[in-house]
Amino acid sequence: MNIEIDASRLLCPMPVIRLQDAINESKIGDIVKITCTDPGVKNDIPAWCNINKHIILSIEEQDYQIIICVRKENND
């Protein structure tokens, strides 16, 4: 299942919290696509994924948006 989150105009830590909530409700192998405008997510979300052992599939920048795709890898 693919999940999309719009975290535009939210400042850290809210995009990470929204991602965490979506990951917690998804199944292993699901992909969560989060759209953000806070440039801090380019560091914060990969760091969170590294700690929680999820995989960053892509980080794209389009105009003022940062779009990050994450695959859930475990249930911890």
- Domain CATH code at residue 27: 3.30.110.40
- pTM comes to 0.95
The reply to whether 12 belongs to the active site is yes
Q: Is 9 left (phi over 0), alpha (psi -120 to 50) or beta?
A: left
Alpha-carbon distances, residue 53 vs 10, 36, 38, 72 (angstroms): 24, 21, 23, 8
User: pLDDT tens digits, residue range 4-15?
Assistant: 999 999 998 999
Contact (Cβ atoms closer than 8 angstroms) between residue 35 and residue 65: yes
Of the residues 12, 36, 49, 69, only one is catalytic, namely 12
Q: Is residue 76 part of a domain?
A: no
Tokens of 22: 């979506």
**The total number of structural domains that make up the chain:** 1
Q: Is residue 60 part of a domain?
A: yes
- The range of the structural domain enclosing residue 35 comes to 2-71
User: pLDDT tens digits, residue range 36-57?
Assistant: 999 999 999 999 999 999 999 9
